[in-house]
Chain A
Amino acid sequence: MDDLLKDFLAESAENIAQLDHDLVELERDPSDTSLLNSIFRAIHTIKGTCGFLGLARLEHVSHTAESVLDQLRSGVLKAEPEVISDVLRAVDLIKVILVELESQRAEPVGDDSLLIGLLEQWITPVAEQKAVNTDSAVLPAIAVEPGALLSPSYADQRQQINSSLRVNIALLDSLMNLAGELVLNRNQLLELASKEEDSAIAMPVQQLNRITAELQSAIMKTRMQPVGSAWGKLPRIVRDIARETGKKIELDMKGAATEMDRQLVQALQDPLTHMVRNSADHGIESVASRRAQGKAATGKIVLNAYHEGSHVIVEIRDDGKGIDVAEVRRTAIERGIVSREVADTMSDCQALRLIFEPGFSTATEVTHISGRGVGMDVVRSNIERVGGAVDIASTAGAGCTVCIRLPLTLAIISSLIVRASGELFAFPQASVLELIHLAPGEMSDFDMLQNVRLFRLREDLVPVVYLADELRLGGCEADQVRTLVVCQAGRARLGIVVDEVVDSQEIVVKPIGRLTRSVRCYAGCTILGDGRVVMIIDPAALAIRSGTDTAAVAQVAVEQPAAPAAKQDSLLLFGVGDDAVQAVPLSLVARLEEIPAERIESTGGSLVVQYRGSLLPLVAAGPSVTFTSGRTNSVIVFNEGSSSFGIAVNDIRDIVDEVLNLELIAVRPGILGTAIIGGAATEVLDVSYYMNRARGGMVS
């Protein structure tokens, strides 16, 4: 309410100043209807806002003045000096009340009946006009001494009110451009000055340097807007949802004064609205349900904005029911966003982030308030478009927190200047994850999958493109040390090979012209210190352009970190007679031995072999394993605690690395299942079954 009052005072001060002038003009030229209309509008505006703010006295006065003006407009009344004087008196009274309002935050008490009466005589039919004494001598009660309006307090207040002013955005942008130019000039001067020692210009150039930097940052500040200006609609939205759903919700907004670039404030508006809606609609429980859980009946949504380094953080926190991670998993699998295997291996945090995927919504019922399945993915793409990031955390039953991280400004970004085929390009630093030095030999090591180069970055496979190829620059020398710039390109990562990283610097982002806009690779362009124009690469657009952003590759990039199950196992392959091959994970195997058949003895129906000074129980891996005198058998030795046992097979075939995907086909005792190994279906041995048999043999 305070802000509204302040706005009202500032606006009214402007209007009133104009009114004085206009009314006097009107007196001079009563036929000027446009002037009359503008006066009417000004008074009308004041009246309207007064009513809204509950300022009864002001409203009454301005309403009456407006009625008089209406008579003037309709031509019933002529703009004679007497009428104008009375309207001016009303304006004066309005001023007095405004001054009081500014200092006391409340309307002063007073009786305006005399002035009202004076004004009303003009509204009453013309015939009765003369009946009222218009002698101003009877008006001392109004106490509008002209001096009061010029009194220091009013003048001061006016100054305070007018300490801000509206400026055209185009003017600010041109100031920004001019500052950019100045920076270029300064850079040239600095370079000149550095060449001459003891030069007389050294000092002034240093001064210029400092002033330019300050000027630039001051101009940057003019583009700043409090983040709270994107919050205006939220209380109403929350209230409406609360009413509609019968919930009790309190919206607490902190850090509304936190400033950021106006463009970013705009970009924040829709995502914020969406998320607050989500919190109110889906997060906060009904009063009954909250009571049942022992929570306060009134749910709370807290917005919190603050600066953190060169970023602005905006948090949306609610104390509702939180997000059910299990349901997120289930829905994501249902909608085909991830496979079950991948979902199972994801941590809760990772799984929660699935709600940012396109086509996801956990709302089981569609209400008209929110939850149409387009939501969080739009939120994320909006935030990412302006170089921000969004993350979510949730505790079941205790609420959910969404954290948005935005850069302070879009106009100046830190960037990495790289060279590819002799041309310079800039990468937004925010999207660069890491730089990797590539020796000449390493580039041929890229794995290929569907014609996409992949680079193994620790646990992940990252698609790789050559910047020179993508931009068709030509002149790619094969054997050369290069740098791999690993970027966050939308949802996935992209490695971009460049010749070298030249520099990192703060650059002023300039829009690119309409003839080049159709090339969707650039986020803009900039002018470097030496005056050179350089294109800014948009890694996300490059990923789409190069086709590495297709689902297949994104899937690889996404799945690899989260899917340890897909890791390869070393498998020991062995023959069990009749050309049948079985496999056993090498990690379980203790040793491999070749044992002559005659050393294998049979005791009480069980096979044993004297081995390292003790008896090693043996089990044949299937009936087709034969023990022929004069030949040796292969024995796979397993350790189980302090004891060991062996499985006798025909021969050892191979050791292969393979992803072990067991399928439960043709399961029988001793076989865990079947897997595709080396392109052939292979049975995988159940070691525990043989161990039990070997033990049983020992006992019996």
Chain B
Amino acid sequence: MIASAESTDEVVTFRVGKQWFGLPVMAVQEVIDHQATARVPLARSCVAGLLNLRGQVVTAIDMHDRMEIPAAASESLMDVVVSDGGELFALVVDEIGDVVAVPTHILERLPASLDCLWARICTGVVRMDHGLLALIDVARLLDEPSTRP
């Protein structure tokens, strides 16, 4: 599968709306069926709530809201559990895809047309069979609220 000796990133892919995204596999702790969450009143809108993952409190992030993608009518949601800064987050997504190997040389720069929200969160794009895959930087995705209204 790895054709060249160049470095390759393994990426977990998932779909939000119609868009496919990718996360470095090392950032992902596990993928679970969507769990019931407890609301956190007054929190910013992308916080879907808190869920209990084997005794640990995990902040669930509504990826539709975070990426400003209109929410589709209820599908079977999945939670991608990622760890950042010693804290756990569950990204609520529509579908989980394969783990794919992305050779760094096929990574493309972000197109200039990208709006600033995505430009901030994404690190690059990769052309896949079913369209473009946008790679996400976990730390920037989970930025403090102060950087965004």
Q: Does A448 contact B (CB under 8 A)?
A: no
Known: A180-B55, A513-B59, A515-B145. A525 touches B42 (CB 8 A): no
B136 to chain A, nearest CB (A): 16
Check if A181 is an interface residue, CB within 8 A of chain B: yes
B87 at the interface (CB under 8 A from A): yes
Q: Is the CB of B55 within 8 A of A533?
A: no
Q: Pick the contact of B57 from A473, A518, A525 — CB < 8 Å? A: A525
- What's the nearest-Cβ distance from chain B to residue A497, in Å? 15
Residues of B within 8 A of A534 (CB): 38
Chain B contacts for A472, CB-based, 8 A: 41-42
A516→B37 contact, CB < 8 A: no
Residue of B whose beta carbon sits closest to that of A519:
B42
Q: Which of B12-20, B25-33, B44-52 contacts A (4 or more CB under 8 A)?
A: B44-52
Q: A423-B41, A515-B46, A518-B44 are in contact. List 14 more A-B contacts (CB 8 A).
A: A177-B55, A181-B54, A472-B42, A510-B57, A512-B57, A513-B87, A513-B89, A514-B142, A516-B43, A519-B42, A521-B41, A527-B52, A533-B50, A533-B57
Chain B residues with CB below 8 A from A510, complex form: 57
Return the chain A residue nearest B56 by Cβ: A177
Kindly list chain A residues whose C-beta atoms are within 8 Å of the C-beta of B44.
Answer: 515, 518
Tell whether, in the assembled complex, residue B144 and residue A514 are in contact, meaning their CB atoms are under 8 Å apart. Answer: yes
Contact of A516 among B40, B51, B56 (CB under 8 A): B40
Q: What are 23 A-to-B residue pairs whose CB atoms are below 8 Å?
A: A180-B55, A181-B54, A423-B38, A423-B41, A424-B38, A472-B42, A473-B41, A512-B40, A513-B87, A514-B142, A514-B144, A515-B47, A515-B89, A515-B144, A515-B145, A516-B40, A516-B50, A518-B144, A521-B41, A525-B57, A532-B52, A533-B50, A534-B38
Q: Which one of A471, A512, A527 contacts B41 once the chains associate, using CB atoms below 8 Å?
A: A471
**Chain A residues proximal to chain B, CB less than 8 Å:** 177-178, 180-181, 184, 423-424, 471-473, 510, 512-516, 518-519, 521-522, 525, 527, 531-535
Nearest B residue to A423 via CB reads: B39
Contact B87 A181 (CB under 8 A): no
Chain A neighbourhood of B131, CB < 8 A: none
A516 x B144 contact (CB < 8 A): no
Chain B residue numbers with a CB within 8 Å of A514 are 85, 87, 142, 144
Q: Contact at A184–B55, with CB atoms within 8 Å?
A: yes
Closest Cβ neighbor of B38 among chain A residues:
A533
A471 to B43 alpha-carbon distance, docked (Å): 10
User: In B43-94, which residues have CB < 8 Å from any A CB?
Assistant: 43-44, 46-47, 49-52, 54-57, 59, 61, 85, 87, 89
The answer to whether A519 touches B57 (Cβ under 8 A) is no
Contact B57 A527 (CB under 8 A): yes
Residue in B42, B50, B87, B142 whose beta carbon sits within 8 Å of that of A471 in the complex = B42
Within 8 A of A (CB), among B79-135: 85, 87, 89
